[in-house]
Amino acid sequence: MSRLLILAGLLFCVASQAEVPGDVAEQFRSRYPKVPATAFESSPVEGLVAVSTNDTRFFYAPGSGLLLFGEFFTPDGQALTGRSTQTPQSPLPSTDAPIAGNPAGVRVKDGPVVMTAYLDVHCGYCAQAVDWIVSRGGLPHAGLDVVFVSRSEQDLALAEHVLCAPKHLRGTALQQVFSRGPGVERLRCEKGRAEALAHEGIAARDGVSATPVFAVKGQTVLGFDRERLESLVDQTGKQPKG
């Protein structure tokens, strides 16, 4: 979910003052029953509805059923997405705080600065983050713990594959889950299944519905924001790379 700048002259539209029809909210909750939507509002972007949860805001396209995460900006620099205008819940716990009896999800990469990533196996930006951090060695100082945000039995099975892997192979298993490469036999174990179900509760308790979300050094990063992650993890004092 990298930051998305939409040029005002091309895609920015005047906000409609019409109320959002009730059937749009009903349709959304039917399609996304696990997303705790708290409000629906007209959007400044034609064809999209603004949806709020307790701690974030995003857009929904009723026609296609797609969700759009990122940030839209007005010509004066005001962000329309990201944090909700409502009073947010407590921020996500830092990775030093216990999370439902599990310190920080499942460890897939060691490093001096540990961050927790809340990931959905169907999330494209989650896949990009995994590729950057695990496959390409981005954030070399970062340790990575993962909490899986599952929305179906298939999601739970993919999370279970990682959770059943030996510690030294979890990074590889995580890459396999997001690359969906052929010929990989999914690992199964009772402990992994139980942990995958526990991760659902962790994500729900921490108010995570949109992914990816990162918790590092007591800070919460919504989306795959490389600069922000680099600035929090970098131990050398250098400026983040452009």
The predicted model gives 182-206 an average pLDDT of: 82
How distant, in Å, are the alpha carbons of 125, 163, 171 from that of 167? 24, 9, 8
Q: Which amino acid is at 110?
A: D
Length of the chain as a residue count:
242
Sequence ranges of the domains in the chain: 1-89, 106-233
CA distance 34 to 222: 18
pLDDT at 118: 92
pLDDT at 221: 85
Q: What is the pTM of this model?
A: 0.59
Tens of pLDDT, residues 57-78 = 778 888 888 887 666 656 655 5
Say if residue 84's pLDDT is above 90.
no
φ, ψ of residue 163 to 5 degrees: the values are -70, -25
Q: H/E element holding 162?
A: helix 153-164
Percent of the chain at pLDDT above 70? 70
DSSP 237: -
pLDDT at 2: 34
Q: How crowded is residue 192: how many other Cβ atoms within 10 Å of its Cβ?
A: 20
| Residue 97 contacts residue 59 (beta carbons within 8 Å) | no
Say if residue 197's pLDDT is above 60.
yes
State the CATH architecture for 106-233.
3-Layer(aba) Sandwich (3.40)
pLDDT band at 171 (very low <50, low <70, confident <90, very high): very high
| Residue 233 contacts residue 241 (beta carbons within 8 Å) | no
Q: Where are the beta strands (DSSP E) in 95-172?
A: 106-109, 113-119, 142-148
Copy the structure tokens of residue 89. Answer: 């819940």
How distant, in Å, are the alpha carbons of 1, 153, 179, 223 from that of 134? 17, 25, 12, 17
The predicted model gives 112-128 an average pLDDT of: 88
